[in-house]
Amino acid sequence: MIILIGAIILEIGAAVALIVNLLTESGYGLKNSQEAFVLGRSGVFDAMIRLERNKDYTTNGAPYFLNVDTGKSFEVIVCNNSKINVASSTCDITAPGYQNKADIISTGKVINKNRRLEAIVNVNGATTEIQIESLKEISI
């Protein structure tokens, strides 16, 4: 009888531990996902600052990386006067409608969560003024 009661208590304890673990994991997953989104947005603004300093700035499809903290970073691709071909990570200069515009794709990464944003910005060559035309999250 004592063994049976002990086994029931042990099983209840294991179930409670499992539930607490699952709730904690889901909370961290949401937090990491939100942090990845903010890092992605920070990457877009970093690229905009680089464009403001140099209106012809481009990475030619190759990303640059910035590590913010352990396990937290963003990578950014900037194509000036062209659209980014995500599949091949190249600048598509044949895409219509990208004159005086830059296409920016930034991926925020936090441990196992990634969020990617794409921004199309207008670049005024005379004043180096940068204006966001569109900013949206895209699938990875």
Q: What residues does each domain of the chain span?
A: 2-138
pTM attached to this predicted model: 0.81
Q: What is the mean pLDDT of each run of 10 residues along the chain (140 residues)?
A: 77 74 70 94 96 92 92 94 85 86 95 94 88 93
What pLDDT is attached to residue 25? 64
What pLDDT is attached to residue 24? 64
The residues, ordered by sequence, that sit 6+ positions from 27 with a Cβ below 8 Å of its Cβ are: none
Token pair 């481009």 in the structure block, residue: 58
Distance CA(125)–CA(135), nearest Å, equals 21
The string of DSSP letters for 117-131 reads EEEEEEE-TTT--EE
